């Protein structure tokens, strides 16, 4: 097993901290106070990344810029870059599905969500004893020909109502956060594509010699 490069890990953690500490709050403020429309939010990550590259090439970021360029060449152009792309796709699916379910809870299952919300406001918690089961409409049935798949409808109903209820309790903060991360994944994939072209991993010297000899 290879020895862990502590300095390399520190540099990656440092850049991750800068990105999360600066970009995510900016995105949340933009979505909350400027516009919650996805088109208005799109482009912030790309702008952030391109600005970082520009300042790095102009030597305006000092040591931070050197660490940034070094890590981009080592990470984005290598195997870890592929893992980042895979995780971005998974996050895209997960948060996209969550946003869809919240919308279902606020539309198709709106009545049940409101019943549960009123119960939560009255008792400050939901239990088997205080949930008015008789007032709930329940999940949309799939039909008599698909009774064996009723568990899918029940799961979709439970997740939709639960997520929509959590979003209401948080005054929409959860939905905004999911929306921010979801939109971010599109930009992550785009910016990674650009970075992989801009910061290709250097070809090893022995590979260049072998290629030249052929």
* Sign of the four-CA dihedral 181, 186, 188, 191: negative
Q: Is 103 part of any domain? A: yes
- Contact at 8 Å (CB) between 15 and 67? yes
Cα 182 to Cα 94: distance, rounded to the nearest angstrom: 8
Q: Is 1 part of any domain? A: no
Cα 105 to Cα 211: distance, rounded to the nearest angstrom: 60
Domains contained in the chain, number: 1
The whole domain housing 169 covers 6-200
Give this prediction's pTM: 0.67
For 60-115, write each residue's pLDDT tens digit: 778 877 877 777 777 666 677 778 888 889 999 999 999 999 999 999 999 999 99
DSSP 61: S
Q: Is 45 part of any domain? A: yes
For 134-148, write each residue's pLDDT tens digit: 888 888 877 767 778
> Tokens 């209820």 appear where?
165
């Amino acid at each position: 097993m290879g020895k862990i490069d502590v300095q390399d890990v520190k540099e990656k953690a440092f850049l991750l901290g800068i990105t999360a500490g600066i970009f995510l709050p900016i995105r949340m403020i933009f979505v909350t106070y400027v516009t919650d429309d996805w088109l208005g939010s799109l482009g912030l990550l790309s702008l952030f990344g391109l600005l970082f590259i520009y300042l790095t090439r102009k030597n305006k970021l000092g040591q931070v810029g050197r660490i940034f360029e070094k890590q981009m060449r080592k990470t984005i152009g290598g195997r870890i870059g592929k893992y980042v792309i895979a995780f971005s796709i998974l996050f895209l699916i997960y948060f996209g599905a969550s946003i869809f379910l919240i919308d279902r809870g606020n539309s198709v299952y709106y009545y049940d969500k409101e019943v549960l919300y009123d119960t939560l406001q009255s008792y400050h918690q939901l239990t088997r004893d205080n949930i008015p089961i008789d007032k709930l409409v329940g999940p949309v049935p799939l039909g008599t020909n698909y009774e064996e798949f009723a568990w899918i409808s029940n799961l979709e109903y439970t997740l939709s109502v639960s997520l929509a209820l959590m979003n209401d309790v948080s005054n929409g903060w959860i939905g905004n956060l999911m929306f921010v991360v979801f939109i971010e994944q599109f930009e992550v994939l785009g910016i990674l594509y650009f970075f992989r072209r801009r910061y290709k991993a250097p070809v090893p010297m022995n590979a260049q010699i072998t290629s030249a000899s052929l």
